[in-house]
């Protein structure tokens, strides 16, 4: 992420998100280069990570498909120009209007998470006289070495259909004339850096594929979800995630049947490193044991530290004075409104610009209006 020319930030109301589109394009080029090595690999960008229209347009230009989890997301990606036939639609609690929206737009595939949901999709499809392509999201009971709040593939999580019910749900789907069963969907969690976790998923999928084959059930689509993590500690050294190893793992361990395509739903790895939250220091306060840099961004703008104990690298863009130790905190009336504690920053003064790095994913999109605050605006490097 290029933050060398900070003059471009003068006169812009803080806090705001800043997206380096050169880095985003470099990331997308790497993804395309790595997936083109393998037959039938398709990446659907998980728009839940960042739905900023300007960011979405760059991703669409690179030709990626898209993964949505709500009707609002479907509307947003259509507005950004994504073709509906590249949309996969997941989510454990889809409302009827959201299902209708997906069916009306002839999206690529619904990732279905329960029999009651399948029944509703079928009912709506019958009413509309359409046939709908579905994959079943199977809970593979594979743990991921990540924060408990972003682990999704364990039997105790609310997501997906239990493995032991897989054949029953597929047989049910096959009885519905307006449903076409296409394949399986998985997602074990997010911010995963250990390739062993993806290897475990690939092996579990192989077992399930053997079961399907024994039951003479054909599948075209294997959707392995997303989850590839980024380097929050050293974003400047590692701006592009290790897509090479990631796709190599699936190529090596996932056994495909003839004609099968593999779909990926990557969010964080696509946009995480290209975004920064830019904030201004309102006050420097010296307590008896602590020194606080009080900035104008709060947990309302970037909730990850408060919600997941996440650490975003923080840098002072204005000062090159000697380093001192600070707690960087926001103005929100909550004790958890802390970005980081006891970190070293070049001496901070009122008015300095501070950047919180690796904030392109799950940053702007998770902002809230708590304390009646304005939502942060997102700008690209092409605008500023």
Residue 308 lies near ligand LLP (rule: CB under 6 A): yes
Which alpha helices (DSSP H) does 129-194 contain, by range? 166-175
Q: Return the closest-CA partner of residue 364 out of 53, 67, 146, 3.
A: 53
Within a 10 A sphere around the Cβ of 374, how many other Cβ atoms? 11
Q: How many residues does the chain have?
A: 384
Contact 253, 222 (CB under 8 A): no
- In the stretch 242-281, what mask flags binding to ligand LLP with x, by CB under 6 A? -----------------------xxxxx------------
Cα 282 from Cα 337, distance rounded (Å): 15
Contact 326, 320 (CB under 8 A): no
Q: How far is the CB of 228 from ligand LLP (least distance, A)?
A: 6
Cα 82 from Cα 255, distance rounded (Å): 30
Residue 49 lies near ligand LLP (rule: CB under 6 A): yes
Cα Rg, the chain, nearest whole Å = 22
Number of residues that bind ligand LLP (CB under 6 A): 22
Within a 10 A sphere around the Cβ of 126, how many other Cβ atoms? 15
Q: How far is the CB of 90 from ligand LLP (least distance, A)?
A: 5
Q: Return the closest-CA partner of residue 18 out of 30, 31, 6, 26.
A: 6
Residue 42 lies near ligand LLP (rule: CB under 6 A): no
- In the stretch 360-379, what mask flags binding to ligand LLP with x, by CB under 6 A? --x-----------------
Q: Judged by CB, which is closer to ligand LLP: 292, or 308? A: 308
Q: Which residues within the stretch 66-95 sit at the binding site for ligand LLP (CB under 6 A)?
A: 67, 90
Residue 187 lies near ligand LLP (rule: CB under 6 A): yes
Residue 66, CA distances (Å) to 118, 164, 264, 266, 372 in order: 22, 29, 10, 9, 32
Return the range that interacts with ligand LLP (CB under 6 A); candidates 210-218, 221-229, 240-248, 276-284: 221-229
From candidates 304, 312, 313, 373, binder to ligand LLP by CB under 6 A: 304
Q: Judged by CB, which is closer to ligand LLP: 265, or 364? A: 265
Residues of this chain that interact with ligand LLP (CB under 6 A) are 46, 48-49, 67, 90, 150, 152, 187, 190-191, 225-228, 265-269, 304, 308, 362
């Amino acid at each position: 992420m290029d933050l060398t020319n900070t003059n471009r930030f003068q006169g812009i109301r803080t806090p705001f998100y800043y997206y380096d589109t050169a880095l985003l394009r470099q990331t997308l080029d790497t993804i395309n280069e790595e997936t083109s090595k393998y037959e039938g690999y398709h990446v659907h960008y998980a728009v839940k990570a960042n739905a900023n229209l300007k960011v979405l347009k760059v991703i669409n230009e690179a030709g990626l498909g898209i993964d949505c989890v709500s009707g609002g997301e479907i509307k947003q990606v259509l507005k950004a120009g994504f073709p509906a036939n590249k949309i996969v639609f997941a989510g454990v609690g889809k409302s009827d209007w959201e299902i209708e929206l997906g069916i009306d737009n002839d999206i690529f595939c619904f990732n279905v998470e329960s029999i009651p949901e399948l029944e509703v999709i079928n009912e709506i499809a019958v009413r509309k006289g359409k046939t709908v392509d579905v994959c079943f999201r199977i809970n593979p009971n594979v743990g991921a070495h990540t924060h408990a709040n972003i682990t999704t593939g364990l039997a105790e999580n609310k997501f997906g259909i239990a493995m032991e019910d897989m054949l029953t749900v597929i047989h049910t789907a096959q009885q519905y004339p307006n449903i076409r069963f296409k394949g399986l969907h998985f997602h074990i969690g997010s911010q995963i850096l250990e390739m062993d976790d993806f290897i475990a998923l690939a092996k579990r999928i192989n077992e399930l594929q053997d079961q399907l084959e024994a039951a003479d059930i054909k599948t075209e689509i294997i959707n392995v979800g997303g989850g590839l993590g980024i380097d929050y500690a050293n974003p400047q050294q590692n701006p592009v995630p290790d897509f090479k190893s990631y796709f190599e793992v699936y190529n090596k361990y996932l056994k495909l049947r003839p004609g099968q395509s593999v779909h990926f739903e990557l969010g964080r790895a696509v946009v995480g490193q290209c975004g920064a939250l830019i904030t201004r220091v309102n006050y420097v306060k010296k307590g008896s044991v602590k020194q606080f840099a009080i900035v104008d961004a709060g947990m309302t703008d970037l909730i990850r530290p408060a919600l997941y104990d996440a650490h975003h690298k923080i840098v002072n863009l204005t000062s090159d004075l000697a380093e001192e130790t600070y707690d960087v905190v926001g103005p929100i009336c909550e004790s958890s409104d802390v970005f980081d504690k006891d970190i070293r920053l070049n001496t901070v003064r009122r008015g300095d610009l501070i950047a919180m790095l690796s904030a392109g994913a799950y940053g702007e999109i998770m902002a809230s209006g708590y304390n009646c605050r304005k939502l942060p605006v997102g700008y690209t490097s092409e605008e500023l």
